[in-house]
Amino acid sequence: MKLEIKNLSKTYANGVHALKSVNLSIGTGMFGLLGQNGAGKSTLMRTIATLQDADEGSITFGDIDVAKDPGELRKVLGYLPQEFGLYPSATAEEMLLHLADLKGIASKQERRDQVDTLLRKVNLHDKRTQRLGTYSGGMKQRFGIAQALLGDPKIVIVDEPTAGLDPTERNRFYNLLSEIGASITVILSTHIVEDVSTLCHDMAIIGDGEVLLTDDPRKVEASLRGKCWVKSIENEELERHCAEHEVIANHFHLGQMHITVVEENAPGDGFEPKEPTLEDAYFHTLALHRAGKNGK
């Protein structure tokens, strides 16, 4: 089933134009929505999840018109919000059974079976009688996925799920998400490029409420092939290089600053060719957007 978002716009009461005529078509599998903080990702996620309304535009999922029939969408939706409340003194099993009840899974046996299956799936079965208040960040996020999967959803939305996870927990979480994305639509909203490059077969970059680009991440990356150049410099040389080149990123590696530029032709000046990464393409897209805004 496809999620179709057409001309979706939202302006908050304080005048912030959080979504500007957003168009997206999202099929089965992992879709990455990448953008900086404040880009409008949560606004979009909450609108899809029927928690707030847009001012204009439409969202459909298969035959369901989300604005007209939010109840129908909720029946097939799983949502892991950026922040979700947990009862710290409840155990994972108690909480999931309670949430399964709220989700309308009427039969007690069915609730027990689903909760048992989900706890195994997210690798928390042996911790099921432990209080949620004692869970680590990664365990909480895996619990969050288990609650999002209650009721066998057809579309799952996860908002910034890997922020704050250590590398091991993040990897475990990636494995879990990619398993889920094999059969249903999963929208992963994130500001972490690695989340998208690791997991997603389709993506959009969002900036200032606008979709700046949408494509297969491999194609996005490849679009910069032959145009990416890198150079290691001293910190005090940064300003000059920024003035003379289109510097899209600078980062430190083993204490040395490296800058990346995107230019059609070899810039000379000590730059070496570089195989582009999704992060380069992301920064380049944001830089083009900023330049457009500044009228360059």
Interacting residues with ligand ADP (CB under 6 A): 12, 14, 16, 18, 35, 37-43
Of the pair 36, 277, the CB lying nearest ligand ADP is at 36
Residues 6+ apart with CB under 8 A from 63: none
- C-alpha 251/C-alpha 100 separation (Å) is 46
Closer residue to ligand ADP, CB minimum distance, 51 or 266: 51
Q: Two tokens at 223?
A: 């679009």
Give the integer Cα–Cα distance in Å for 160 and 195. Answer: 9
Q: Which two structure tokens, joined as six digits, stand for 254?
A: 């083993």
Least Å from the CB of residue 10 to ligand ADP = 8
Give the residue with the Cβ less far from ligand ADP, 20 or 172. Answer: 20
Compute the least distance from the CB of residue 32 to ligand ADP, in Å.
13
Query: Toward ligand ADP, which CB reaches closer, 32 or 40?
Result: 40
Q: Give the angle subtended at the CA of 201 by the CAs of 195 and 204, to the nearest 5°.
A: 70
CA–CA dist 159, 84 (Å, integer): 11
| Nearer to ligand ADP (CB atom), residue 28 or residue 43 | 43
- Beta pairing, strands 228-233 & 247-253: unpaired
> How far is residue 157's CA from residue 180's CA, in Å, rounded to a whole number?
11
Nearer to ligand ADP, 93 or 279 (CB): 279
Cα separations in angstroms, 192 against 25, 54, 227 = 22, 26, 23
Taking the C-alpha atoms of residue 241 and residue 106, their distance in angstroms, rounded to an integer, is 64
**Least separation, in Å, of the C-beta of 279 and ligand ADP?**
17
* Min dist. Cβ of residue 216 to ligand ADP (A): 22
Residues 286 and 36: beta-carbon distance below 8 Å: yes
- What is the end-to-end Cα distance of the chain in Å, rounded? 41
Closest separation in Å from C-beta 291 to ligand ADP:
21
- Cα–Cα distance for residue pair 269/20, rounded to 1 Å: 40
- Report in angstroms how near the CB of residue 56 gets to ligand ADP at its nearest: 16
Residue 19 CB, nearest distance to ligand ADP (Å)? 8
Which is nearer to ligand ADP, 46 or 241 (by Cβ)? Answer: 46
Q: Which amino acid is at 36?
A: Q
